Chains A and B, each alone.
Chain A
């Protein structure tokens, strides 16, 4: 039949069908990323070359916003605060996430309960987290001050003292995020075959040697993921902005003014959208460089165990 022959002409091979199906599966995600991440990133990048009044007026200023950044002490201050925040937060998250995962990796009912408890902060709105911690840490009558006053120490202003405020933001960020990284590490730990530990034990290796010779090396892919994601989270995660916005407003004296918060201030409080976009672009470039560096160091995120 000619019609049947014609239809047969359009028949795809199984390889082609698989190829199309693969792209169709990826398409919604890819299109979403392009529309909601790619396009805004490009727009933000181009906005950095304009002076934007915030009331519909745009004028091209070339690199003026970038030159301004170089001479803006508050921008450099915010970068310094961000670097301190990243340097404190990322290792703390790594150690706490891995430590907790090791402590509760055994599949018992009690551990299941503890895992749930540790993950709980993730289910609470960051605004609520910020408000509750603010009350716990308030001067004189906050819970923490009352607890330590029983030990004869006191008088701390955890969020009002420039020497302590950023550290407290880090502590609360760790408290909020560590449950998530604990779960990631638990997944990584469960992928390590038990036989390796048994063999090591027979060879006389203790728990410390097993940790350094088996666990840590075999967790390299997980560690890579955790370090990468926690670095990005530290620079521009939701907790970075929300906690500062709720608890300190960048104070005292700009000591918790993280770069992402300063970008927000310039855009939405000072109507400097072009300048804010330029700063956001710099942050994106820095994060991309860190990501590329991490990928280069790990040969594209691939790990071998020989």
Chain B
């Protein structure tokens, strides 16, 4: 204590060593305040103005350019707008298959902005939390979106999600594995039968010939749909009833079953799953892998020396080439704290005719990731990238046969998933599995009142 404070101090406190009671109380108050602020709900309340944008492209993730793209986008918006956007990262598995997003919405604390795949569209649309983005998107920009891509994000002519990418599925193969087996590019399979025959030649005691996803989930269904469509099958018929009990469905189920029964395909995959190309194809666990366009950037970043080729999905006898185009879309929470600003952000980021918005889509699809663009202008602007390498193969051969990933409610997804699993891994007769799934789908559709299934 200084002499002055000593003199001013009340009786009895003058000679007490150490901090005064007031100092201790003040220090305590600061500490309590700091502790309280560290609680998420308090700091969240104070920072209520910013829009929270949940996604899974975290810094330090699989591909650095992807998180950078998100950061640049947020910075660019924040530099020019009063309502700020804050990126919130959720681990990939927790986002796609976890409790984070569902519990947030169940407790009325859903994010203002988030990304969803077509597989989850109906769940959130039917829940009434997807904002109609149409008023925020210019007519010219609406016309700029490929109709086949935007269709499964629309209900009654209104747009509820702005796609950032289109991710068609294809087959990748290891050039070294082909060489070892005495195969060349000419041996690339064109039919299902070819695929199994070539797969058999590529199978060794340490390697599988061809890999399809084996874990049950939305992703497995997504990868299986093209094989259903190629034989003319579908999930729902035009009269609104199940179309799943069909020879095409049984044929597609049998195709994956045969691959496992012949020992050509594994029953378990490595890494994060069948979408993960480095631990499966590049590591030598399989010689061919059924995976999407994103694998180009995965291999470029994480296995740059791996030699591979890409070919379009083979077809069944009498079938027609079709692949599936998935991809994620920006959506805004209609029950968020500032839906108008969230809608404006989505349109500004991906759905405006401004050069920045188009460039952003091009950057995401050709630099941050390796995807096909959901917009005509972006395809035109990025034509150089799509005129060479594997992106050209996708642009010229694979993408033209793409059909949008179906949006299905969870019970329909589960019925199809159970049929795939039962045939692929549990030896059930494909016709029986297709009939059982169809019965479940019909039972559900009879009482379904949500948006149309596409």
Q: Given A141-B285, A252-B421, A253-B418, decide whether A54 and B106 contact each other with a Cβ distance below 8 A.
A: yes
CB distance from B332 to the nearest CB of A (A): 15
Which A residues lie within 8 Å of B103 (CB)? 268
Which B residues lie within 8 Å of A154 (CB)? 205
Q: Given A254-B421, A268-B99, decide whether A141 and B426 contact each other with a Cβ distance below 8 A.
A: no
Which B residues lie within 8 Å of A55 (CB)? 105-106, 127-129, 335
CB distance from B443 to the nearest CB of A (A): 10
Q: Given the complex of chains A and B, what is the CA–CA distance between A20 and B339 in angstroms?
A: 54
Does the CB pair A271–B102 fall under 8 Å? yes
Q: Given the complex of chains A and B, what is the CA–CA distance between A269 and B98 in angstroms?
A: 8
Q: Given A54-B127, A160-B266, decide whether A140 and B97 contact each other with a Cβ distance below 8 A.
A: no
* Binary CB contact string for chain A from 238 to 253 against chain B (1 if under 8 A, 0 otherwise): 0000000000111111
CB distance from A255 to the nearest CB of B (A): 7
Q: Given A140-B208, A161-B267, A252-B425, decide whether A271 and B214 contact each other with a Cβ distance below 8 A.
A: no
Contact-residue size bin, chain A (C-beta under 8 Å from the other chain): 35 or more
Look across to chain A and name the residue whose beta carbon is closest to the beta carbon of B123. A271
Q: Given the complex of chains A and B, what is the CA–CA distance between A273 and B285 in angstroms?
A: 39
- The verdict on B216 contacting chain A, using a C-beta distance below 8 Å, is yes
Look across to chain B and name the residue whose beta carbon is closest to the beta carbon of A140. B206
Does the CB pair B268–A159 fall under 8 Å? yes
* Binary CB contact string for chain A from 109 to 138 against chain B (1 if under 8 A, 0 otherwise): 000000000000000000000000011011
Q: Which of B123, B128, B214 contacts A252 (CB 8 A)?
A: B214
CB distance from A164 to the nearest CB of B (A): 10
Which B residues lie within 8 Å of A248 (CB)? 215
- The verdict on A295 contacting chain B, using a C-beta distance below 8 Å, is no
* Binary CB contact string for chain A from 263 to 295 against chain B (1 if under 8 A, 0 otherwise): 010011111110000000000000000000000
Q: Given A251-B215, A254-B418, decide whether A56 and B267 contact each other with a Cβ distance below 8 A.
A: no
User: Max chain B CB contacts within 10 Å: which of A250, A251, A264, A270?
Assistant: A251
- The verdict on B217 contacting chain A, using a C-beta distance below 8 Å, is yes
- The verdict on A162 contacting chain B, using a C-beta distance below 8 Å, is yes
Q: Given the complex of chains A and B, what is the CA–CA distance between A72 and B205 in angstroms?
A: 41
Does the CB pair A162–B214 fall under 8 Å? no
Which A residues lie within 8 Å of B422 (CB)? 253
- The verdict on B240 contacting chain A, using a C-beta distance below 8 Å, is no
- The verdict on B200 contacting chain A, using a C-beta distance below 8 Å, is no
Which B residues lie within 8 Å of A249 (CB)? 97, 215-217
Q: Given the complex of chains A and B, what is the CA–CA distance between A250 and B417 in angstroms?
A: 12
- The verdict on B201 contacting chain A, using a C-beta distance below 8 Å, is no
Does the CB pair A141–B206 fall under 8 Å? yes
Does the CB pair B425–A162 fall under 8 Å? yes
CB distance from A121 to the nearest CB of B (A): 22
CB distance from A131 to the nearest CB of B (A): 10
Q: Which of B98, B108, B214, B410 contacts A160 (CB 8 A)?
A: B214
- The verdict on A298 contacting chain B, using a C-beta distance below 8 Å, is no
* Binary CB contact string for chain B from 409 to 433 against chain A (1 if under 8 A, 0 otherwise): 0110010001001101110100000
Q: Given the complex of chains A and B, what is the CA–CA distance between A254 and B428 in angstroms?
A: 13
Q: Offer 22 A-B interface pairs, CB within 8 angstroms, sorted by A.
A: A55-B128, A56-B106, A74-B414, A74-B418, A138-B268, A139-B266, A139-B268, A140-B205, A141-B285, A161-B267, A251-B421, A252-B216, A252-B267, A253-B422, A253-B425, A253-B426, A264-B99, A267-B102, A268-B98, A270-B410, A271-B410, A273-B106
Interface residues of A (CB under 8 A from B): 52-56, 74, 134-135, 137-141, 149, 154-155, 157, 159-162, 248-255, 264, 267-273
